[in-house]
Structure 1
Amino acid sequence: MEIKDNLEATNQLLPVLKKDLLANDVSSASATVNSLAEHTAAAKKAGTDPLWKLASGLPWIGPNLAAASEVSTTANDVVTLAAKPLVGAFQSLDWKALTPVDGAVQLAPLQKAAPSVVSAANSVELSYHRLAGIDQKPLLAQISEPLNSAKDQLDELRGLLSTAADAAELVPAMMGVDGPRDYLLLIQNNAEVRASGGIPGALAVLHAENGKITLTNQDSASAMGAISPAIKVDPVQETIFSTRMGNYMQDVNMTPDFPTAASTARSIWLQRHPGQVIDGVISIDPVALSLVLKATGPITVNPALPEGASMGELPTRLTSANLVPVLLSQVYAEIQEPVLQDAYFAEVAKKVFDTVASGRTPGDKLVDSLATGVSDNRILLWSSRGNEQAILSDTKISGSISGPSVPAAGFGVYFNDGTGAKMDYYVKRTVQLIQRCHAGGYAQYTAKISLTNTAPANAAESLPAYVSGNAVFGVPIGNVATNVIAYGPSQARAEKARIDGKDVGIASYTHAERPVGIVHVQLKPGQTQTVEIDFSKVVQNGQAELRVTPTIQDTKDVILPEQKATGCTGN
């Protein structure tokens, strides 16, 4: 009862601690964590009492007493070895420290906090494995249920702390505390969709030194032209996504594997800009930029255009509300030349970064905006340095389609434009996983993808030729052609596909031991089609997770909750 009462009191205090930290109330958080420590210490004392430990060796009831002892000891370790140091680190890591001063982020507080964060992450990782190693077969429900709950909470916490520890180690170095860094910035244009987001039209170099970031050399994919000889790319991915990946900057991200796209983009840039040093590649899209504007407030743009060129009716004041439609639609109606369009994109990016560097944006709001962009796969990062990339590959920001950042039961649905234009601004999508009946001891899933072309019925007359594509690639004006690409978990199979319930051919491949199925669709204005791609032989038993190409839509409107087929048993 003493163990039970103290651990229940601990459960009630944990939400209070979370609230204190989110409110940046360090004083209250310190008091809360001290109360937590008192309760967990009392539970541990009761659970490690000599008589209790002796009784743990008894048959039947003994394993339950031993498990209770492990839970109480683990709870105390998590509080004393993780929570307390984290709250202490939080005291030195005020959000204001993350707000740029004179254009630079102050990295010293983060460096000071790093050892505590890493230590906490290690402690939680060890605690998780301690509980995971308990044999649950002889346990009563009164013990096994709280044990599973504790494991689930620690599992979630260890993932978060691992990411935080990686960030604490990586950020200072990658922001130039040990020497300057230069990163190629890809601004992905979702109006012409690519697997990782959109065509990388506008490009720039970010220079980082002692926490200060400046936007330097700028260029555009269209101005680079075709690369000859082509950059060498993984032949497996070339087979799936075409050899254009190594020929054109616009096509490096036809693969959903961002490390491949990023390293190819770096090689193309260096071929066009010999003598430069590029330490990594960062990708961001207009939706992520609009999230940043929620934190910074509006910006004013006034790009330097050649004599005689005009911005037309494009607004000079951009907000989080109008940024996306202006960049992905209106700019094409007002500016005809692709090079000038890219110049407008580059000017917007420069003004956003200048505004962030000005120091007028609260650090907590800025971090929140960037975190949302990372969560939605709109901000991706690759490092050319092997030791840093090894850490990044463990995290979602790496954009990897294989490795530790991809869950065992991971699915992916990605899109590549086949129109050769900017029609994806008008495409609305939903993606859903459906768990079907088991067969032969294996799970089976269907990826269900609906696409609607919302372009006006008179798109051929009302849309600029640059937006519609003008049928240059054989797609009727106003139509949208898309390659729908679905990845299943490792060792599974992509079996068959349907469009609106009718069987269609499926191009089937394997990439990084994951099955890949591709279906081509073409939509007239106002038309909707539903693609279903079936996966069989799914051996992973974990929770299925779905990743989807980020588009102009809010991610929560695109990815629908997983469903189970009705009438099945044993799922």
Structure 2
Amino acid sequence: MSPNSGSTAPRSKRKIRRRLKKAGIWVVALAIVLIAGSAWIGSRASIAKSELQAATALLPDLKSSIAENDAVSAAETVESLVQHTGKARDAANDPLWKAVTVLPWIGPNLQAASEVATSADDVARLGAMPLVEAFQSLDWRALTPTAGEMDLAPLKAAAPRVQSAAYAVRESVQRLNQIETGNLMPEVSAPLIDAREKLKALQGELDSAADAATLAPNMLGADSPRRYLLLMQNNAETRATGGIPGAVAVLNVDKGSLKLESQTSAAALGAFVPPIAIDAEQRTIYSGRIGKFMQDVNLTPDFPTSARTAQLMWEKSNGERLDGVLSLDPVALSFILDATGPIDIKDPIVQEIGRNLPAQLNGKNVVQTLLSDAYAKIDEPSLQDIYFAGTAKEIFGALASGKTDPKKLMDAISKGVEERRILLWSNNVEEETTIGQYPLGGTVSGAAISPAQFGVYFNDGTGAKMDYWVKRTVQVVKDCTRDGYREVAVRVTSKNTAPADAAESLPAYVTGDGAFGIPAGTVQTNVVAYGPFQSNIDTVVKDGEKIPFAAQRHSQRAVGTSTIRLAPGESTTLDFNFGHIVQHSEPMLVVTPTTQPVKDVIQATSVSPCE
């Protein structure tokens, strides 16, 4: 053994102890740093959470300010909103916070929280602020139709800001949708999912607002006058989009001012020989009558087809190519009258024709007056047409008076569009492409159609005005999956509520007086049901028994048609059974707007299991 060997071991042990001591110090130091960092991150998380909660609490105030047309309050609220979201963003993007996002488990949670805070600030700063600035720049009363010109320049100037806001929200939605939520803590995933849902809804609303702000000035004649064919749909004789276009006119729009011209009746245009060309699918389902008579252009539920056909008919009759087609029904007029207030019938000729009808029309009596009482009190169909045209002129005159409350008018129009009682088509391809993305366009295919949309449409086969008396409901009664495909049954219940002595007590013009072999007072209806894309129509069951039906396709959608007849007091039920449905989203029902509120027609789903 070497002389120094005895001292080597103690020295080695001392070195080891020193190294362990240093390591221990580092471990303790690291622990202190981690604890401090956790505390720091915890404080940042607390700040971010409280600031986002404060921002969320301001949203009802912002909504209320805009609803009350209080631009000053809205601007102040948005300033506070941005302050809160900015602090939340700063807290969730702290350098230490960012550094920790690379760690397993905790990192993805912190990153997700950071994305939520960043998106909230982007929406507030790049979405809400431009919107409120645009809101401040607009005089909403100046945008209400008047007898004079409307200043549309501010609306045109606001369009880019609304588009910018829509873009900011769209980007935030895409950012949040890229985050995988499966492994996140509930405290992080829950607000993330909630933010996704709210932003998605907001995105749709802002996209609509951006499109409206872009289209409206030109379509309201900001740069040059626009002339639209106005179709007044009469729900007393149903057509797929609402009712027979009894009265037609030209609506002249010049810098926002409205004027009705060239008023006439659809019947006065006569038959078109040869008929206007219709695509083969729709001609098979609805016959060539769509292109032959103005009264039948909307046998199809596809409004662009109806509008193009009506426009061509007008051009053939009058030599004038119009800029588009606008359609509305008496129920939509009732919404508008709720906004304008009552109107007095002032035209002496119309007063005389309607001497036994109310001298003043309002939102409560206009539907019954136009769709029932007018037929009972005015014998001659030609005089009925004059009365309808005169009434429409008075209502549009009230719109053009400038006395209408802007918010009430906007609500009335929105309700009419929502219930598909107001439809619009533009002859400008770019404009029509945008309109077609929304219910206002009345399409049966394309971006506006929900993947699981079912449509139920009604076409009168009586040749009369009995549909005022028919009450209907539409409901999904089966929704289940078999062999990977969905099966859905849509039930349509119809009842003729006309008096038992309708054949004698109602005017012959209303009952049809036995025309087409249908007894007076009886209603015949062609019920047309559309399934989703690529679905099949399997069976139709009437009052519990399978019946023959016509099966076709329109724009890759299954179409089933069945005809029913109802004497006064009778009711019947049709179940349209669709199969081979690949879509698994919630079924959505669309129906022909009738004299009933749509909410009374479309009933809540009541499903039974697959047998």
Q: Is the 8 A contact 2:221 2:255 kept in 1?
A: yes
Q: Is the 8 A contact 1:222 1:339 kept in 2?
A: no
Q: Distance in 1 between matches of 2:450 and 2:101?
A: 37
Q: Distance in 2 between matches of 1:208 and 1:514?
A: 37
Report what 1:441 is aligned to: 484
Root-mean-square deviation over aligned CA pairs = 1.7
From 312, 335, 341, the counterpart of 2:378: 335
Report what 1:285 is aligned to: 329
Q: Is the 8 A contact 1:17 1:32 kept in 2?
A: yes
Report what 2:246 is aligned to: 201
SS of 2:572 mapped into structure 1: strand
In the TM superposition, what whole-angstrom CA distance separates every residue of 1:433-455 from its partner, at most 9, and x where no partner exists? 23422111222211111111000
Q: Distance in 2 between matches of 1:224 and 1:530?
A: 37
SS of 2:533 mapped into structure 1: coil
CA change 1:536–1:339 in 2 (3 A) is same
Q: Is the 8 A contact 1:104 1:357 kept in 2?
A: no
Alignment of 1:514-525 (within 5 A): 514-525=557-568
From 207, 213, 216, the counterpart of 1:168: 213
Structure 1 residue 478, shift from structure 2 partner:
0.9
Q: Is the 8 A contact 1:199 1:250 kept in 2?
A: yes
The amino acid of 1:233's aligned partner reads: I
Pair 1:544 & 2:599 matched: no
Pair 1:369 & 2:408 matched: no
Kindly report structure 1 stretches of 4+ aligned residues shifted beyond 4 Å. 302-307
Q: Is the 8 A contact 2:147 2:258 kept in 1?
A: no
CA change 1:455–1:258 in 2 (3 A) is same
TM-score by length of 1: 0.96
Report what 1:247 is aligned to: 292
Pair 1:33 & 2:78 matched: yes
SS of 1:254 mapped into structure 2: coil
Q: Distance in 2 between matches of 1:498 and 1:334?
A: 40
Pair 1:406 & 2:452 matched: no
Aligned residues: 566
Question: Which structure 2 segments of 5+ residues have no match?
Answer: 1-45
Q: Distance in 2 between matches of 1:436 and 1:306?
A: 52
Q: Distance in 2 between matches of 1:35 and 1:434?
A: 49
The amino acid of 2:434's aligned partner reads: I
Q: Is the 8 A contact 1:303 1:343 kept in 2?
A: no
Pair 1:152 & 2:231 matched: no
Q: Is the 8 A contact 1:434 1:563 kept in 2?
A: yes
Q: Distance in 2 between matches of 1:248 and 1:305?
A: 28
Pair 1:424 & 2:467 matched: yes
Q: Distance in 1 between matches of 2:477 and 2:65?
A: 39
From 386, 403, 410, the counterpart of 2:429: 386
Pair 1:234 & 2:279 matched: yes
SS of 2:90 mapped into structure 1: helix
Q: Distance in 1 between matches of 2:519 and 2:418?
A: 36
From 106, 116, 122, the counterpart of 2:161: 116
SS of 1:219 mapped into structure 2: strand
CA change 1:306–1:374 in 2 (3 A) is closer
Deviation larger for 348-357 or 104-113: 104-113
Deviation larger for 438-447 or 342-351: 438-447
Report what 2:9 is aligned to: none
CA change 1:54–1:544 in 2 (3 A) is farther
Pair 1:177 & 2:222 matched: yes
Q: Distance in 2 between matches of 1:525 and 1:189?
A: 21
Question: Which structure 1 segments of 5+ residues have no match?
Answer: none
Report what 2:25 is aligned to: none
The amino acid of 1:240's aligned partner reads: I
SS of 2:234 mapped into structure 1: strand
Alignment of 1:5-404 (within 5 A): 5-274=50-319, 276-303=320-347, 305=349, 310-404=353-447
The amino acid of 2:416's aligned partner reads: G
Q: Distance in 2 between matches of 1:160 and 1:5?
A: 27
SS of 2:334 mapped into structure 1: helix
Higher share in helix = 2
Structure 1 residue 322, shift from structure 2 partner:
1.0
The amino acid of 2:95's aligned partner reads: P
Q: Is the 8 A contact 2:350 2:387 kept in 1?
A: no
SS of 1:413 mapped into structure 2: strand
The amino acid of 1:144's aligned partner reads: S
Q: Is the 8 A contact 1:97 1:109 kept in 2?
A: no
Q: Distance in 1 between matches of 2:307 and 2:515?
A: 28
Q: Is the 8 A contact 2:326 2:424 kept in 1?
A: yes
Q: Distance in 2 between matches of 1:257 and 1:108?
A: 34
Q: Distance in 1 between matches of 2:82 and 2:234?
A: 50
Q: Distance in 2 between matches of 1:444 and 1:55?
A: 50
TM-score by length of 2: 0.90
Greater Cα radius of gyration, structure 1 or 2: 2
The amino acid of 1:54's aligned partner reads: A
The amino acid of 1:491's aligned partner reads: Q
Q: Is the 8 A contact 2:542 2:574 kept in 1?
A: yes
Structure 1 residue 538, shift from structure 2 partner:
2.0
Deviation larger for 497-506 or 242-251: 497-506
Structure 1 residue 119, shift from structure 2 partner:
0.8
Q: Is the 8 A contact 1:412 1:546 kept in 2?
A: yes
The amino acid of 1:339's aligned partner reads: S
CA change 1:406–1:567 in 2 (3 A) is closer
SS of 2:515 mapped into structure 1: coil
Q: Is the 8 A contact 1:303 1:344 kept in 2?
A: no
Q: Is the 8 A contact 2:477 2:608 kept in 1?
A: yes
Q: Distance in 2 between matches of 1:20 and 1:175?
A: 27
Report what 2:546 is aligned to: 503
Q: Distance in 2 between matches of 1:477 and 1:328?
A: 18
SS of 2:181 mapped into structure 1: coil
The amino acid of 1:162's aligned partner reads: D
In the TM superposition, what whole-angstrom CA distance separates every residue of 1:146-176 from its partner, at most 9, and x where no partner exists? 2221111111111111111111111110111
Q: Distance in 2 between matches of 1:40 and 1:310?
A: 64
Q: Distance in 2 between matches of 1:261 and 1:143?
A: 51
Structure 1 residue 47, shift from structure 2 partner:
1.7
SS of 2:492 mapped into structure 1: strand
Deviation larger for 245-254 or 206-215: 206-215
Structure 1 residue 101, shift from structure 2 partner:
4.2
CA change 1:97–1:305 in 2 (3 A) is closer
Q: Percent of aligned pairs with the same residue?
A: 50
Deviation larger for 262-271 or 502-511: 502-511
Pair 1:477 & 2:520 matched: yes
Q: Is the 8 A contact 2:140 2:406 kept in 1?
A: yes
Q: Distance in 2 between matches of 1:78 and 1:359?
A: 35
Q: Is the 8 A contact 2:486 2:582 kept in 1?
A: yes
In the TM superposition, what whole-angstrom CA distance separates every residue of 1:284-320 from its partner, at most 9, and x where no partner exists? 100111111111111122556599x843512222111
Q: Is the 8 A contact 1:256 1:399 kept in 2?
A: yes
Structure 1 residue 327, shift from structure 2 partner:
0.5
The amino acid of 2:325's aligned partner reads: V
SS of 1:489 mapped into structure 2: strand
SS of 1:436 mapped into structure 2: strand
Q: Distance in 1 between matches of 2:61 and 2:609?
A: 41
Structure 1 residue 226, shift from structure 2 partner:
0.9
In the TM superposition, what whole-angstrom CA distance separates every residue of 1:435-482 from its partner, at most 9, and x where no partner exists? 422111222211111111000000111111110011111211111111
From 560, 573, 576, the counterpart of 1:530: 573
Q: Distance in 2 between matches of 1:287 and 1:369?
A: 10
The amino acid of 1:213's aligned partner reads: L
Q: Is the 8 A contact 1:433 1:448 kept in 2?
A: yes
